Amino acid sequence: MVNPFPRHKTKIVCTIGPASRKKSVLKDLVRAGMNVARLNFSHGDLTQHAQDIQTIRQVSQELGRTVAILGDLPGPKIRIGVLKGGACTLNKGNRVVLTTRQVQGTADLIPVQFPDLPRSVKPGERIFLNDGFIELKVLEIKGEDIICRVVIGGGLLSNKGMNLPDAHLSLSAATDEDLGFIAFGIEQGIDMFGLSFVGGAQDISRVREFARTKGSEIFVVAKMERREAVKNSREIIEAVDAVMVARGDLGVEIPIEEVPLVQKQLILQANLAAKPVITATQMLQSMTANTRPTRAEATDVANAIFDGTDAVMLSEETAIGIHPVTACRMLSRIATAAEAGRSRVVSGTTVPETIKRTIELSGRSIKETLSLNVIRSIVSLGIRCVAVPSRSGLTARMISRLKGDAWVVALCFNDAVLKALSLSSGVYPVPKGSLSSDEDIISYLRDHGFVRENEPFILVQREACPHLGVQSTMKIIARDSAG
């Protein structure tokens, strides 16, 4: 029985919204390759989110396919208030006043939902509105008013976001509202939480400590979208379970021309730490309305995979787009093609080669040595599958980060590890269940199309050795035609 679903190794995260929450559409998304369903808590209410969670679980069970759920927390997003008529236009060169007073907004006076704004900015600093498309320069501050000049104008809608790239804000990444969403998510069994506007490791510690008061150890995805996050990336990556390169706000917080390099650096750091990394924002943005992506978008997705990303994410494309399933299917096609050509991209300077050299130069742990030997065996013997019984997911991730050509089939001891590995590239997580013997594993791999008859595969195990304790071992299992 060969699995009928797509077999791209790069994981696909789809944002669920009005365009995709119907059960029939969710089923089509899973068939098209969705591995993780993202719920954006910045939109909708808890009743709707609870219904979406229930529907996703039903679809996962009916299709026999693991689908993890990511709850994306809003974080301390700074927004403008309500504008008269819902919109206005800011013209270049005009003066505009941002105010913390309760007023109805116009093109000359815009309310802001951030009481500390007058104390957070200085004359000469920049303020961006509407995802960076509008730029203001602070001229002076008078009480609750910030007088600005419009440097780059444009249309503005009520409640749009604001970015302060030159200011140093002491905002916690987790607001009281976020903590409420975490409590809701724990109650609903959400598998992972996206923490927005992370600044340092202390932000991760706060949400973990809160979750423990609810009796839960949560899986945290740090969204890298602030200048401080880039600066503190190493400590953040060490503290979290996964990373998201959130290029939307990141491209406003730092010069947009720096985003490609920062993306590569963050992905490499996550790979070295064996933490899964998601690349997000505008991956196939044009497919929100169109049935085909631009050439630049297809190239962007492929390059993120060449960079070493574990997962790619769709936002508006699947949440409110006209063609959500088509967009997911296209992402699967691009990923499959990129993976097939990855080993031919500038041989010797690819991300896996960089990781291997870094491990060899910095000293190896037992698991690192094991993962390197697994990859070498895959290359030398043409192995197409590695089976890894997994209690924590670490060994599977350490092999996965080297982006070998073989599948890593993780035989998971619990549901939390099963869902967590849904983010790791090249890892196919399954419940270990009754797969206790080599014969059971061989039958499963063959029945699901991972190995052919008499084809060798690698089995990584933890075995108890007298006087030595528990040891990790690698076995190459092969059969001749005689069986």
Domain positions in the chain are 11-76+172-341, 78-163, 351-477
Instruction: Please tell me the predicted confidence (pLDDT) of residue 186.
Output: 98
All residues at 6 or more sequence positions from 359 whose CB lies less than 8 Å from its CB, including other chains: 368, 372
Instruction: Please tell me the predicted confidence (pLDDT) of residue 1.
Output: 45
Residue in 11, 27, 31, 223 annotated catalytic: 223
Instruction: Please tell me the predicted confidence (pLDDT) of residue 455.
Output: 87
Instruction: Please tell me the predicted confidence (pLDDT) of residue 482.
Output: 42
Residue in 99, 100, 281, 288 annotated catalytic: 281
- Is residue 223 part of the annotated active site? The answer reads yes
CA–CA separation, 381 vs 456, rounded Å? 9
Tell me which DSSP letter residue 112 carries: B
Task: Give Dmax (Cα) for the chain.
Answer: 87
Instruction: Please tell me the predicted confidence (pLDDT) of residue 434.
Output: 73
Which pair of structure tokens corresponds to residue 197?
């506007």
- Is residue 395 part of the annotated active site? The answer reads no
Q: Measure the CA angle with vertex 138, ends 135 and 144; round to 5°.
A: 115
End-to-end CA distance of the chain: 20
| CATH number, domain 351-477 | 3.40.1380.20
Instruction: Please tell me the predicted confidence (pLDDT) of residue 4.
Output: 58
Residue in 57, 65, 79, 149 annotated catalytic: 79
CA–CA separation, 198 vs 38, rounded Å? 18
Instruction: Please tell me the predicted confidence (pLDDT) of residue 462.
Output: 67
CA 171 to chain centre: 22
CA–CA separation, 176 vs 303, rounded Å? 37
- Name the CATH topology of 78-163: M1 Pyruvate Kinase; Domain 3 (2.40.33)
Instruction: Please tell me the predicted confidence (pLDDT) of residue 414.
Output: 94
Tell me which DSSP letter residue 10 carries: S
Sign of CA dihedral 47, 420, 356, 376: negative
Give the CATH architecture of domain 11-76+172-341: Alpha-Beta Barrel (3.20)
Which pair of structure tokens corresponds to residue 68?
């993890």
Q: What are phi and psi of 388, to 5 degrees?
A: -135, 100
- Is residue 38 part of the annotated active site? The answer reads yes
pLDDT tens sequence for the chain (483 residues): 445 566 899 999 999 999 999 999 999 999 999 999 999 998 889 999 999 999 999 999 999 999 999 999 999 888 999 999 999 999 999 999 999 999 999 999 999 999 999 999 999 999 999 988 999 999 999 999 999 999 999 999 998 989 998 988 777 889 999 999 999 999 999 999 999 999 999 999 999 999 999 999 999 999 999 999 999 999 999 999 999 999 999 999 899 999 999 999 999 999 999 999 999 999 999 999 999 999 999 999 999 999 999 999 999 999 999 999 999 999 999 999 999 888 766 555 555 666 666 666 555 677 777 777 887 888 788 888 999 989 999 999 999 988 888 999 999 999 999 999 999 999 999 998 878 788 899 889 999 889 888 888 999 876 544 444 455 677 888 765 444
Give the HSE-up count for residue 54: Cα atoms under 13 Å, Cβ half-sphere: 6
